Amino acid sequence: MSISQGTIVNAAASLHCPHGGRASAASAHAAVRLDGLPVHTASDTFVVTGCPHTVDGVPHPCATVRWSPHADGVRVDGVPVLLHTTEAQCFGAALVPQGPPVVNAARRGATCR
């Protein structure tokens, strides 16, 4: 059995789409906090703003981020906690995959092993 390792992603993490747009949580699991900030889980909704991505000169910005957490990871209320190593994909408004997000989670709080 393989268990993911990584830094827990909370509201202090810097999240961007692969084109530089900012990804932020539209919702967060406020019941659990790390360094005083909400911990992000797979049930949180992430939106992307400011993505400059174009295809043949036509804007196709990233709009959302979907996460694919490891089944054996840490959970909050039965929902997997996001780690900086959690697999994810950014999607455009037409749900076209546009690449993985860039996650920079501060290693101040806790890590999972």
d(CA 52, CA 20): 7
Query: What pTM was estimated for this model as a whole?
Result: 0.84
pLDDT at 7 (0 to 100) = 86
pLDDT at 111 (0 to 100) = 47
Residue found under tokens 């840490």: 74
pLDDT at 2 (0 to 100) = 45
What's the mean pLDDT in 97-105?
94
* Structure confidence at residue 38 as a pLDDT band (50, 70, 90): confident
What's the mean pLDDT in 46-71?
95
> Distance of alpha carbon 80 from its chain centroid, rounded?
12
